Chain A
């Protein structure tokens, strides 16, 4: 059951972002505490940066190079 923590969290919730489109949220989801948001944000970016930093397959450079044939070579 997550309801206990949810209720507790809802009680502790600062009002910071409540101006954001309440209609769509329907009041069902409480706005998250800033510290929790930050933790999630940090984790998300770390995960994403890990993907961004993965080596890129050669196929993309080859594809663009192939399309570039006929124009002057040598610039990268």
Chain B
């Protein structure tokens, strides 16, 4: 492996918090997420010559992480593929370090989304990527990303309303819908 230039190393290190947040949200397990981030950094360093200078380093790193996650996902399908079982359970016990706000209901709802929708929503709605960047990261059409994000939001709204998250409860939802349309 080539030794990283200090600038590259600093940029990689700076990307770690975002990569971790994405990885934790994707796989629901801090330990696994950290392994995923570490593998991403190693992969990035060993393929750094493929990174086009001047393009978005974070988008490139997210692409690597996402691809690693999916190849691992396929390997571990049996363990991982239970949309409303263990993923949600693992996600629930996840943040140890003084998470001040209570996001448990939201995390549980997020865990119930199909992986492709969860991923699209995280990229666009949380990580701040454009639809185009998210499409590149996921290797699909922009329209597909938009559709997945829309469906993810609809599904979340329904799940959260059903589960009665305080500020997303059914009453507020209905009121918000009524107000917004006059």
CB distance from A33 to the nearest CB of B (A): 5
* B window 142-166: CB within 8 A of A: 143-144, 146-148, 150-151, 153-158, 160-162, 165
Binary per-residue interface labels of chain B (98-134) against chain A in the complex, 1 for a CB within 8 Å, 0 otherwise: 0111010011001000000000011001110000000
Asked whether, in the complex, the Cβ of A21 is within 8 Å of the Cβ of B144, the reply is yes
Given contact pairs A20-B143, A24-B144, A50-B103, A29 touches B150 in the complex (Cβ within 8 A): yes
Task: Spell out A's residues near B (CB within 8 Å).
Answer: 2, 5-6, 8-9, 12, 14, 17, 20-21, 24-25, 29-37, 39-41, 43-48, 50-57, 59-61, 63-64, 67-72, 75-76
Which residues of B pack against A, CB within 8 Å? 1, 3-6, 9-10, 12-13, 16-18, 20-21, 24-25, 34, 37-38, 41-42, 45, 95, 97, 99-101, 103, 106-107, 110, 121-122, 125-127, 141, 143-144, 146-148, 150-151, 153-158, 160-162, 165, 167-168, 170, 172-174, 176-181
Chain B residue numbers with a CB within 8 Å of A5 are 161, 170, 173-174
Point out the residues of chain A lying under 8 angstroms from B5, CB to CB.
71
Bound form: Cα–Cα A17–B161 in Å:
22
CA distance A31 to B158 in the complex (A): 12
Contact A55 B180 (CB under 8 A): no
Residues on B with C-beta less than 8 A from A24 are 143-144, 147-148
Nearest residue, chain B, Cβ from A37: B153
Contacts of A52 in B (CB 8 A): 17-18, 20-21
- A56 to B16, Cβ gap below 8 A? yes
